[in-house]
Amino acid sequence: MTTIGFIRHGVTAWNKEGREQGNTDIPLDEEGIEMAERVADRMEQEEWDVIYTSPLIRARRTAEIIAERLPSAEFRIDKRLVEVGGGVAEGTTELERLEKWGASWKELDLGFEPEDVTFSRGMSFIERVKQVHSGSRVLVVSHGDLIGRLIHALVPDGEFLKDVDNASVTIIELQESENLCHLYNCTKHLEGEKV
């Protein structure tokens, strides 16, 4: 039985502005670093064997902050964990997309990464984790769209009504018959004052 803890990276300036990030390499802002430190405080209280991260700086920096608290965990970068590519929409807000391409912009070919490609690379990563880290506890630091799609693929009958928040934790237990989601989009570590 392998356990995967999905962590979305801390917040960025583009998150706050509602800009499509995709594969654009936007760093954490000051609040994002604080969020990463808080999730690291939480993970430090738990046992994790390995940390995988997207190579994009916002996820990688979040993972590095966590790794500082988990020195015995292996640290690996995997390009399959990058965010879903946003094509020419990257860097734009919803309002800018409406102004530029109109109300039906989602129906246009703007170069978004095809869903089957996203699914294939994401599930390829999951299968590799199952092979290499069977019985282990694996942290995966990645991006909102990709994490959301992986969660829905792993637990298709789950009722996940909202997108995953920045610096949230979701824990899924991979089993032979049916995967179990023990925790979804938890951000309790971000509440209150940091001590």
**Residue of 20, 83, 90, 113 with catalytic role:** 83
Asked if 49 contacts 1 with a C-beta cutoff of 8 angstroms, the reply is no
Answer yes or no: is 149 a known binding residue: no
Answer yes or no: is 60 a known binding residue: no
**Residue of 9, 133, 143, 189 with catalytic role:** 9
Answer yes or no: is 8 a known binding residue: yes
Edge-to-edge order in the sheet of strand 50-53: 74-77, 50-53, 137-142, 2-8, 169-174, 180-186
Tell how strand 2-8 and strand 137-142 pair up.
parallel
Residue 83 designated active-site:
yes
Answer yes or no: is 23 a known binding residue: no
Answer yes or no: is 58 a known binding residue: yes
Angle of helix 144-154 versus helix 115-132 axis, rounded to 10: 70
Residue 17 designated active-site:
no
Answer yes or no: is 89 a known binding residue: no
Catalytically annotated residues: 9, 83
- Residues of the binding site for substrate: 8-15, 58
- Residues of the binding site: 8-15, 58
